[in-house]
Structure 1
Amino acid sequence: MRFPTVLGLVLALILGIGLHVGARLFTKDIDVLHLNGVGSPSVAATQPINALAFVFDGVNFGASDFAYSAYSMVTVAIFSILFLFILLF
């Protein structure tokens, strides 16, 4: 599990810097750059988690354990929807 973790951290670093610098290539609008500065750290921070999730998906699909993948996806969706409703109010 070291490789996906290291890869996720490298991707987080690349995205953290790339989104910040790359946004300036496309716009000079201060408001857009501010929103990019607010949103891009959260995108970069999720990369190590995403890398591990992709590895576990590959392992489950390779083992033909589609039921576990389906149940875990539904469980995550339920928690995500609940948190979105909590944040809504």
Structure 2
Amino acid sequence: MSPRTPRVLLVCFALAAAVDLASLLAGADPGHRIAKALLMPLLAAYAGARGAPRLLLAAQFLLVRGVPGPLAARPARGAAYGEMRSTTP
């Protein structure tokens, strides 16, 4: 992997975030839907390129796939960061 890969992924994430916000402000629903769908995969790719723990990447994948949302991903994120918390509100 090229040393520039993480930077390129971060720039792509920032661009997708800017397009998402601009689409929201302009009321352009198709632009918002497309940009929003790119945000989490780009963030996960950036984290993976920077050497993030695999458990954190799995948690981001669960959020992208829509698996029972944050309740499924929260324990994995907590374990990846070394802090286990209950999933009950």
Q: Structure 2-normalised TM-score?
A: 0.37
Which structure has greater helix proportion?
A: 1
Q: Structure 1-normalised TM-score?
A: 0.37
* Structure of higher RCO (CA pairs closer than 8 Å, 6+ residues apart): 1
